[in-house]
Amino acid sequence: MKFTKKLLDAFVSLISVLLMCLVAGIVLLMLNELFLRNILNKSFRGMTELAGFMFLWMAFLGIIVLDDQGRLIALDIFYLQTKGKARTGLWFVHKIVAACLGVGMVVAFAGLYPYVSTEFYSSMPKFAKAWQYLPMAIAGVYLTIKAIYDIVERLLSRSDLLAKEST
Amino acid sequence: MIIFFVSFIVLLLIGAPISISIGASAVLGCINLGYPIMVIGQKMVSGIDSFLLIAIPLFILAGNLMNAGKITEKIFDFAKRLVGWIPGGLGHANIVASLIFAGMSGSAAADAGGLGTIEMEAMTTNGYDKEFSASVTAASTVIGPIFPPSIPLIIYGSVASVSVSQLFMGGVLPGLLMAVALMVLVLIFAVKRKYPRFPFSLRLLWTQFLQSILSIITPLIILSGFVFGWFTPTEASSVAVAYALVIAVFVYRTLDWKTFKKCLLESAITSANTLFIIGTSMLFSYVLIKEGVSLQIANFILGISDNPYLILLVINVLLLALGMFMEPGAILTLMLPVLLPIVKVLGIDLVHFGVVMVLNLMIGQVTPPFGVCLFIVSDVGEVPLNRLYRGILPFLIPLLIVLALCTYVPQLVTWLPNMLLHG
């Protein structure tokens, strides 16, 4: 479990760095386009395409850090009122639902792959549309693995506690 | 369809993240109704894949940079000198500072979390009670997403295919009206409770103006860009970021590398929260449209009356109620497919409706018991939620008056965009 935790933490750190680069990159691309159009009277559609592509990656990879930090917006006013077993039960439901959505995202990517893996639907030359869908699948994989990890960790710590109590 | 709705409501109520509740119930709906599984990915990605939406992380970044680079402090100091002499001076300064900040960021959360902290601290140390300080701060955050630039208006423009420049211009007068209405209420409270004020000094105001000029002209730069066609709303967001960065690093020298990196990450994940909701909501609304639910709701609302004023009242009540529970991005994405046909049938201007819709949702964000901005202000101001609930209620009155005015006098919204962008 410790190794998995380390792996997940390292992955989130890597994603965090990538997110910073993506946001900075989008700003630079937009400013560059503005400069080229207004000052040099030239415009490159590729630049806005690339900004859009980076934006999609930022949007989906951001979910990974949000989930890791438990910062996804929730209407948790009722959840916070619950205690003990009721809260634990609801926590398990949250995790199972997150895992199911993650699986749904991965399966959807797999279903789309035959269609988007070619250049046919792509608006960028020599660049398959699948690259735009890939971050959704990565976020889906993370949501699933993290939810399963959290569930297993909670169950293990619970069984450890019970074992300690019995001795 | 019952499973689809029940799972959504149950998940939302048991505290599962909004995006996951919407996404999971939509996936369940797709499977249950026999839709191809690839629709899930297609709708989630296409919901976010919009050039307009790129402005969201960038405007959030501009707001974060202004907070981290202490540009907001300069804005507040200027506002203090400008309106601090009116009874309840710091309350007015709070509102004016929010208005100026709104002209650069467009995010209520950035206003509440950044500028709000400075405002509440200044007010409480100057003898204002915490409940009042927090209530003014929360109420004034509503101005942010109305006065341009505005993140919810960008989402509306993207979903409803309406010019964002026109929407931004349409938000100017309602934003100013809200500021005036809130200031009138602060004045009434100040006279009644004998709140302090600062002496007026033209010399000090001029000195502060010179010190803050670079911060306070940002809204002018952005608005001029739209009016003169220099840049699109998305490009405006990158201009706002570059401008905030330049004055924070080179002029005020208040931003270091570590804080800058933190701002980048924070902006990415804050916007990812909204974008994930938009993506999953797109899938959800696809199911609603495919199953004809959107049409049934639209027909039901249109069946109530053929009077546009009455229908607008019904829509306002519905949106206010939804705004109390849900994130504005989700409501915009989920409700627009239902509301747009109604609005088009009634001949209501889409720019007018966009501003009214966002105004409703934003008032919902400061309405007890679930208003998101109330949670942020309660947290940063260390004011118990029950006290804030009591304090915010009078502030809802001027906001609702402005909402009614904007709903029934469309010219308040449409006059400026028609004059500046059509002329």
Write out pLDDT tens, residues B87-103: 999 999 999 999 988 88
Answer yes or no: is B7 within a domain.
no
pLDDT band at B116 (very low <50, low <70, confident <90, very high): confident
Q: Which of B208, B243, B246, B173 is nearest to B81 (CA)?
A: B208
Contact B164, B408 (CB under 8 A): no
In this prediction, residue A79 carries a pLDDT of 86
Cross-chain residue pair B14–A31, CB shorter than 8 Å: no
Q: DSSP letter string over B342-366?
A: HHHHHT--HHHHHHHHHHHHHHHHT
The reply to whether residue B16 touches residue A74, judged by beta carbons under 8 angstroms, is: yes
B6, B263, B269: best mutation site toward chain A, by most A Cβ within 10 Å?
B269
Chain pair A-B, CB pairs under 8 angstroms: 183
Residue B206 domain-assigned (yes or no): yes
Average pLDDT over residues B321-325: 86
Domain count of chain B? 1
Distance between CA B92 and CA B359 in Å, rounded? 21
pLDDT of A149 strictly over 70: yes
Stretch B81-85: mean pLDDT, rounded? 93
In a domain, B11, yes or no: no
Q: What tens digit of pLDDT does each residue of B160-207 get?
A: 999 998 999 999 999 999 999 999 999 999 999 998 888 888 999 999
Answer whether B272 sits within 8 Å of A59, measured CB to CB.
yes
Burial A74-83 (b: 16+ CB within 10 A, else e): bbbeebeebe
* Average pLDDT of every residue of chain A: 90
Question: What is the Cα–Cα distance from B128 to B113, expressed in whole angstroms?
Answer: 19
Residue pair B249/B255 in contact (Cβ under 8 Å)? The answer is yes
Model pLDDT, residue A80: 85
Query: Does any domain span residue B239?
Result: yes
Q: Are B268 and A56 within 8 A, CB to CB?
A: no
Query: Minimal Cα distance from B230: which residue of A?
Result: A38
Residue given tokens 């509102």 in the structure block: B95
| Chain B stretch 310-339, residues whose beta carbon is closer than 8 A to a beta carbon of chain A | 325-327
B354: in domain: yes
What pLDDT is recorded for position A128?
83
Asked if residue B31 belongs to a domain, the reply is no
CA angle B108/B392/B56 to nearest 5° reads 10
What pLDDT, on the 0 to 100 scale, is given for residue B323? Answer: 87
From the CB of residue B419, how many other CB atoms can be counted at a distance below 10 Å?
10
Cβ(B31)–Cβ(B49) under 8 Å? no
Q: Is residue B378 part of a domain?
A: yes
Q: For residue B115, is pLDDT > 90?
A: no
* ipTM over 0.90 threshold: yes
Q: Does a structural domain hold residue B381?
A: yes
Instruction: List A residues 14-73 in contact with B (Cβ-Cβ < 8 A).
Output: 16, 19-20, 22-24, 26-27, 30-31, 33-34, 38, 48, 51-52, 55-56, 58-63, 65-66, 69, 71-73
CB nearest B14 (choices: A19, A73, A79):
A79
- pLDDT over threshold 60, residue B423: no
B271-304 per-position pLDDT tens digit: 999 999 999 999 999 998 888 888 888 888 888 8
In a 3-state reduction of DSSP, which class is residue B17? Answer: strand
Provide the whole-model pTM. 0.90
For residue A110, give Cα distances in angstroms to B264, B395, B399.
Answer: 32, 51, 48
Host domain of residue B215: 52-421
Average pLDDT, integer, range B70-74: 88
Is residue A125 scored above 90 in pLDDT? Answer: no
Closest CA of chain A from B289, distance in Å: 20
Q: What is the mean pLDDT of residues A129-155?
A: 94
Residues B364 and B371 sit within 8 Å (Cβ to Cβ): yes
**Tokens standing for residue B52:** 């307009």
Q: What is the pLDDT of residue B219?
A: 83
Average pLDDT, chain B: 90
| Candidates A20, A76, A136; nearest CB to B264 | A20
- Chain B residues near residue A76 by CB distance under 8 angstroms: 15
Distance from CA of A92 to the nearest CA of B (A): 10
Query: Residue type for B336, please?
Result: L
- What is the pLDDT, as a whole number, of residue B422? 66
